[in-house]
Amino acid sequence: MSTPITLDEIEAHAKLRLPKHVYDFYASGADEQEALARNRDAFKRLVIRPRVLKDVAQIDLSTRILGSSTQLPIGLAPSAMQKLAGGDGEVDTATAAATMGLNMTLSSQSTSSLEDVANIRNKVNSAVASESTPPFWMQLYLYEDSKKSVSLIQRAEAAGYEALVLTVDTPVLGNRLSERKTAVVLPPSMSLPNLQHSTDPTAKPQPSVNRRMMNARTAAEAREILDASGSTMHSSSLTWESTIPFLRSVTKMKIILKGIMTPEDAALAVEHGVDGIIVSNHGGRQLDAAASTIEALLGLVAVVNKRIPIILDGGIRTGTDVFKALALGADFVMIGRPVLWGLAYGGVEGVQEVVNILERELSRTMALAGIGDLKELSKDALGVITKDSFGIAKL
């Protein structure tokens, strides 16, 4: 295949290189995969209203998130088990992020230890004698017995992670058909070093409780699995009243909630003092009937009213998508699957190529739209394709 010049072409390369069940594990959504498709398709309803005779000789794409500077308004989202995609997995992703001055969030289900990933950033910053890379963040699923999560939280804080990204949209796993048909099992050479494991080195790896729950055929079978499991890694008992205070009691890290999709929950996030929210439907892997993230964004922006940062992930495949999300009011965006395709395509260099493509596309879109600085972006730059009549409506 020719050298890729778009993210879709990088994905095509990755699809050829990855085992089918690994590609399907990363690429698939839940049930009929409608939310997965909506995440991308909804961007197409938005069009840009370009302004002309503007000085766009210099385009500034730098921004700040949670008080830290970053070269682009794009961060690398948490994705599990990245060594399955290629190379050194999360270490390669961290190397790309650190050398490009980007934010990265590490999955708690990573195949690299959180300490090894943090050390990559520290080494890069030491080499250039400055804090050129924004602090990394640590993603977390709270155990049903929340005390079991404390050691991981403390490890992340000790390693220098700035924020805890709590995923809140997984009381149970979505109905991921590809995983149910072909389970993804780590080879003996890989592990999940951030999670608790059996102390018996000869113990045969077992599917997680949550994945066994996904395969339960009856309510009775599901209850039997839960009763026998003790504490699951994805708590279904999280509440606004208990969860945020618990996290505040065990860490000084900032708290970001990932999986906010309604204005009601955005308002509660502000009320309960979290430091930021991520508009996310888990890449279409949870509730298949959920809205796309870009459609949900506008209502959340109105409620939050700039009191805390709003980050968006889901469906971003071009620099124009980034432009649209920021114009609608997102402060920052994250990319997930494209990072995995970059790893499969070429390790560190593959992830860097993904970012470079997005940067060039975003810079070009800004120039053609007549906007030289991200601070100038607003929803006035966008129109929406009307369904019932001909023409474009302003948002």
Query: Which residue numbers are catalytic?
Result: 282
The amino acid at 357: I
Q: Please, which residues have CB within 8 angstroms of residue 64's CB and are 6 or more apart in sequence?
A: 70
Question: How far is 71 from 161, CA to CA, in rounded Å?
Answer: 19
Q: 384 vs 315, 327, 362, CA distance in Å? A: 18, 13, 19
Q: What CA–CA distance (Å, rounded) separates 197 from 143?
A: 14
Q: What gap in Å lies between CA 55 and CA 300, rounded to an integer?
A: 32
- What are the helix (H) ranges across the chain? 7-17, 20-27, 34-41, 90-99, 114-127, 150-159, 177-181, 209-214, 219-229, 240-250, 263-271, 293-304, 319-327, 337-369
**Number of Cβ within a 10 Å radius of residue 224:** 12
Positive/negative CA dihedral, 112, 116, 118, 124: negative
Contacts 24+ apart (CB under 8 A), 236-244: 236/144, 236/171, 236/172, 237/144, 238/142, 238/168, 238/171, 240/268, 240/272, 243/142, 243/146, 243/166, 244/272, 244/273, 244/274
Tokens of 312: 């968006």
β-pairing verdict for 392-394 and 137-140:
unpaired
Helix axes 150-159, 114-127, angle to 10 degrees: 10
Which residues sit opposite 129 in a β-bridge?
none
